[in-house]
Structure 1
Amino acid sequence: MHSVFQSLSELHRPLPSKQPLLRKAWLRLSDQASPFFFGSGAEAGVQDNLVEVVRRNPAAASRLLYTTALFSSAGNAVSAGSCFVFLWIHWQLCATCDRPLRWWLLLQACIQLVQMPVRMALLYCVCQVEESGTGLEDWVVQLTSSKAWRLSKNLAIFQYGWFVLGMVWWMHTDSCPDCPAVSTLTAAVMSLSAVRATLAIAIFRALFRDGDLSVQEPAAAGATREQISALPAFRFTKALCDDQDAPCSICLSGFADGTLLRRLPCGHEFHRQCIDRWLRRNKRCPLCMASIECGPLRHRALEH
């Protein structure tokens, strides 16, 4: 994490007095805004899912984040700009609609405008990976633990509900005599949002195979005949058993006097035939999942 902060501090180091005043002001502003967009990494109580995606396949995640962030930023700019220009010209005319579509467009444009800095920060993270020499995961951890990222996620939830409300208003709009174009613009904004979501899903599936994000569990390995034969076997006697009603956990049948049992290193006992058949497929105890290769002392240490 230190390398990321070092890269940010070097980027915003003081400039000589010969630098243009505008550039000085911009770098000073960006230096003050950095703590809002890049956290320490330890501020997030639960790690964001995006970090896990980056950790599993950094190369594919880099292409995914760059493409979606660039397209989303451009889409937000086009959508918000179109709405603001349209409403500036036709605000009074849109008041004749039987549904408040102008207010939906105004708030939708404001939401998209507010989300743009976070998307640009994500794009900045991807671009800085090669220049700073740090890993993408470090940058994404910094971004996803920031206040700006948490605010953006909460805003995205609100935007989803606002989108559904706008869809209901648009579908039930019967008349808008003085400004029919407002309904067309509303449909276009909704369509652009749907296209962006579809494109993001398509890019994700194209870059990540089915196994890239799933936890691959190792296949269960069976025990060899020698390992099974080395386990102690004995005849069951009720007089020596404290819990006489305990059945075999595999066949759920009780133990009768003289029945041949086998005891695993973890201490659990089963019918010999039952556990031998189980161990040929899986060398772990069916009760506690301890391996028969784990000795009794080691098993007790793991329990504690």
Structure 2
Amino acid sequence: RDSSGQRGLPGDGAAGAVGARQQRAARRLRLNAAEEGWRRILSSRTLLLITMGVYVPQIAAGIGVLATNWNDPNACDLEHLLKWRWWALVSVVRMAAFLLVMTMDHVLVDEERSPLREFVLRTGGEEQLILWHDKLARGKHLVDVLGLVWFIIGNLWVLSDDDSSPGQGKSALFILCVFFIVVYYIQICLPCAVAVAAIPVLCFCLPCLLRFMVRMQDAEAHAERRGAEEDVIDRIPIRKFASSQLSSDDDATCAICLCEYADEDQLRVLHCGHAFHKDCLDPWLRLNGSCPSCRAKVTGMPDTEMAPLTAASREEDYGSVPAERLAAGGVGGGGARQDGVDFV
């Protein structure tokens, strides 16, 4: 402050601190969004459908080729024939076993009305269901590890053979093995490519992505989602932002859209103290009932802590909402007071 008691212009150090804090908040939010997106993408049913789409054609092709070319006349010699034959056969068995274990796990855990789940619950209760889920999860991981080992062996047997003959490319077994290996390479590299492609989307298009994800949910996913209910979202206090009392080191940026708050902007103030644009936060909470910044749960809060505001109080301008207080979790306690402003 100067001698008259007025605030001076922010210095370079304060501006740098504000920028660093905004970057950390935005980075944390996008990591949370990425985690939530991957959790939904890798949900049991979605992952099962993707796995079936990848494995079923390979299993069908493997069975057909092995049945018609068990003694492939185009194989280089007996040694190569045995390598290709048994590597392809074990690969088909591995994919079928993985698909079977994954399907059983989905039916037991996620299909609440499945006969298998009801039978396990009726005979052994919830403890038996959890035990079966753990066994199937370990079995799935074991098949995954064995598949990786067998993939390495296939590279050595099929692609690293120096004694290949000119007629090797005519062998149906050899082509089948190469096809399996190429698909496995795609399975390994595709998640990395998707993650790299998702970085610009998460950085620049997160609000649009949230709205798109909300509209893409079908009725069943809508019923099973982990987002907050509409009545819970409606009970979160709404405040109008005012910059008249904003200090130089306050963070006045919405971490979802990365836009600075403007006067009269409607902000929802979560119980943890973080605040966001109402139009940005509501779609987020419909997908994930937790704070985008600190992951504090919004659902399940006691009604005494989320008492609904009256119509008059919702429309009232509560004056300045210092962003430093919002980011640090200073809002949310009943009767709290700062800069002469009461927060409910």
Name the TM-score class by shorter chain. Answer: 0.3 to 0.5
- Which protein is bigger by CA-based radius of gyration? 1
TM-score (norm 2): 0.36
